Each structure stands twice: as C-alpha cells, then as structure tokens.
Amino acid sequence: MIRKTINGQTIMVTGGAGFIGSHLVDRLLAEGAHEVIVVDNMFLGSEDNLAAALKDSRTFLYKDDIEFPTSLEYIFSRHKIHTVFNCATKALNYSFMNPANAFSTNVTGILNLLELQRRGLFETLCHFSTSEVYGSAVYEPMDEMHPKNPTTTYAAGKAAADLAVESYVRMFGLDSYIIRPFNNYGPRQNYKGMLAGIIPITAARILNNISPEIHGSGNQSRDFIHVSDTVDAVFKLYNVMPKGESVNISTDNQISVNELIPRICKEMGYAGEILRKPERAADVECHNACNKKIHNLIDFQLTSFDSGLRDTIAWYKENIKISHGNK
Ligand SMILES: NC(=O)c1ccc[n+]([C@@H]2O[C@H](COP(=O)([O-])OP(=O)(O)OC[C@H]3O[C@@H](n4cnc5c(N)ncnc54)[C@H](O)[C@@H]3O)[C@@H](O)[C@H]2O)c1
C-alpha cells in the first residue's frame, strides 16, 4: 500500500483535543504536516492538551461536532484535506449515564466521514476502534479475528462503526482502515470526574489524599500501552495498512488491577489504605491481545511499563489540581 507521505499533507484529526488525538496532532506536526485540522466538540477535549500545537500556525482548532454533516462540510470547504484520523468518541464510562448517545456518537460520526470520503472530499481514513469491541476473551490471545462481543453501548457503537468502515470499503473501494488500541495511559489522559480511567483516577485520589479503590476481585486484567507507542504505531502503520483491514495495537503485558494499584501507590510514595469496592457492571474480565499482525507490519517499539508509569505519574503530579479539604 503506497500512500502520500504525511510530510506536506493537510490532515484532519477528529477528537484531536483529547488524550490520544492531541499526541497524534503533535506527532503529525513534528513529521512536517502542511496543516493539522482539529475538530473537537470539547466534550472531554481541552485546549491545554493542544497548548504546544496551537502555538504552531499550521494547527487549526474547530470546536465543532462531527455528528453534524454541515459542520464537517464547512470545514472541508475551507481546507483541502487528504487524510482523516477519526479519534472522536465519548468516554466509555459515559455509556453508563447516557447509553444511547454514547452509541450514536460512535456511529454517526463515522458515517458522516465515510459519506464525505465516498463523495471524494478526502482520500484516506484511519478509524480508531477499541479493544472493547471484543468484550471478554473467547480465546486468548485475542487477534483481529476474535468475535466482537461488546459489553457496553460504547463498545457496541464502536463495533458498528468498524462494520460501517469495512462495508464502505467493500462497496465503494474507499481507502479506509481500522486501528484497534488496547488500554492507553500517559500524560494528558483525563483524570477528572466520572469519565476518568483507572490510572488517572488512582493518581488523582492519592494526590488529593483520598484512598485509592479496587473494584471487584481485582483479578481483572488489562494490557496497558503508553500513548507515545500507540501514536508511533499509528504513524508507521499509515504507510502499510491495507484498506479494509484492522490491526491491534497493544503490548504483550497483562497487568491485573491487584498489581496495578499497588504499583501506582509505590511510585507515588503512598502507603495508606486501598479500599475494596463492589464489581462494576459490564467490566471486561481480561484483555490479552495478540500482537502478531502489528509486528509483521511495522517495527513496533514499546516503552517499559515501569518507565511509562513513572513519566505518567510525574505528569499528574505537575498537572492535577489538588482540591483542598477532600478526604
Ligand atoms: N484511551 C484508551 O485507552 C483507548 C483505548 C482504545 C481505543 N481508544 C480510542 O482512541 C480514540 C481516542 O481516545 P482518547 O482516549 O483520546 O479519548 P478522549 O475522550 O480523550 O478523546 C476523544 C475526543 O473526542 C471528542 N469528541 C467527542 N464527541 C465528539 C464529537 N461528536 N465531535 C467531535 N469531537 C468529539 C472529545 O471532546 C475528546 O476530546 C477513541 O476513538 C477511543 O475509542 C482509546
């Protein structure tokens, strides 16, 4: 698969003010993109994540919604976009509060983009799926052929989006493909409120002098990958991913919540209590990924979990605002 190089291209990143999207924006600028067009409705995104990128005159931020076709058409009328990286989504935990909207955001956004691509408004689409589409493992390690058994409406919307991409490629020969990250961690991952993930929540609790929590048995495991490794893989895959295909982006390391929380505590010098809480509904038990495909496609380099965690905790120590009086 030969694609135009990133250097000199105008590229859209939807959800580009979010965690992974903002790191991708930084990388695309560093690789010599002509313009990087960020579309983010700021549901969870933040201008702080784009602080460096927005100092660069090649970055354009549209605080707008990819669920509105006219918003996308307006942006496309202003920039000659070649490639779209579709990172926009509403966080998994949101699907417990507003299940239908979490589903429809994941579906409507991608359909709008595929329609624009079908009409020839841009050339290449890299869609961000998630390991959540697999649900709990039917077999391990989970490769790209693993059945999709979403346990949340977030994941169901993501699975539907994957099917939409695959069917548009079959029907119209579009140059679209799917990358499927497993759990990411690293600087800029949201730590606020109900939508935060386990590493940021734990760091924020400790910094605010609140005991960290383990839900359920703690035996549930995840495959944590540092965001810089994901972005590096996304960049390298751009030149080689066959259209219509998907690829897992993960490490080979399983870590259980029972191991993870004490490691964060140790890194943060916290020796206090760890609270035990009831299991969360629809919590996936295990996500053990198969990495064979990505290793066959690119030179895939991984940061060690120890150094990635250290760098992440250092970022939270600098960036988490302490709420005085919390206990
Ligand atoms: N973080 C992970 O561990 C992880 C794992 C697997 C897959 N992914 C996928 O990677 C992508 C990026 O995830 P993230 O962790 O950076 O999430 P994030 O929530 O930090 O970023 C998503 C961004 O999309 C924006 N957004 C939401 N709805 C929108 C809409 N309708 N229009 C425009 N913008 C909208 C949000 O404001 C946010 O900035 C997502 O597609 C996600 O499913 C993430």
pLDDT in tens, 137-191: 889 899 999 999 999 999 999 999 999 999 999 999 999 999 999 999 999 999 9
Contact (Cβ atoms closer than 8 angstroms) between residue 286 and residue 221 = yes
Lowest mean pLDDT among 87-101, 269-283, 295-309: 269-283
pLDDT-derived band at 287, boundaries 50, 70, 90: confident
For ligand 1, say whether the CB of 95 is within 6 Å of any of its atoms.
Answer: no
With a pLDDT cut of 90, the percent of the chain lying above it is 87
Tell me: the pLDDT tens digits for 114-133? 999 999 999 999 999 999 99
Question: Is residue 286 predicted with pLDDT exceeding 80?
Answer: no
Give me the pLDDT at residue 326, please.
40
Residue 325 pLDDT level (bands cut at 50, 70, 90): very low
Instruction: Looking at the structure, give the CATH architecture of the domain made up of residues 10-183+225-249.
Output: 3-Layer(aba) Sandwich (3.40)
Ligand 1 centre and the CA of 18: distance in Å? 6
What is the pLDDT averaged over residues 289-305?
Answer: 95
Question: CA-to-CA distance for 64 and 67, rounded, in angstroms?
Answer: 9
Residue 282 has pLDDT above 80, yes or no: no
Q: Does domain 193-222+253-319 have CATH number 3.40.50.11030?
A: no
Residue 284 pLDDT exceeds 90: no
Domain ranges of the chain: 10-183+225-249, 193-222+253-319
Give the number of the atom of ligand 1 that is nearest the alpha carbon of residue 188: 20
- Which of 4-8, 108-112, 250-254 is least confident? 250-254
pLDDT at 323 over 70: no
Instruction: Note the pLDDT of residue 144.
Output: 98
The mean pLDDT of 10-14, rounded to a whole number, is: 99
Q: How many CB atoms lie within 10 A of CB 214?
A: 20
Q: pTM for this one?
A: 0.96
Given a cut of 70, whether residue 223 has pLDDT beyond it is yes
Strand-pairing partners, residue 185, are 226
Rounded to the nearest integer, the mean pLDDT of the chain is 94
The yes-or-no verdict on residue 3 having pLDDT over 90 is yes
The mean per-residue pLDDT over the stretch 15-31 comes to 98
Q: Is the CB of 19 under 6 A from ligand 1?
A: yes
Q: Is 44 in the pocket of ligand 1 (CB under 6 A)?
A: yes
12, 43, 199: residue to mutate for ligand 1 pocket, most atoms within 8 A of CB? 43
Q: What is the pLDDT of residues 239-271, one digit of tens each?
A: 999 999 999 999 988 899 999 999 999 999 999
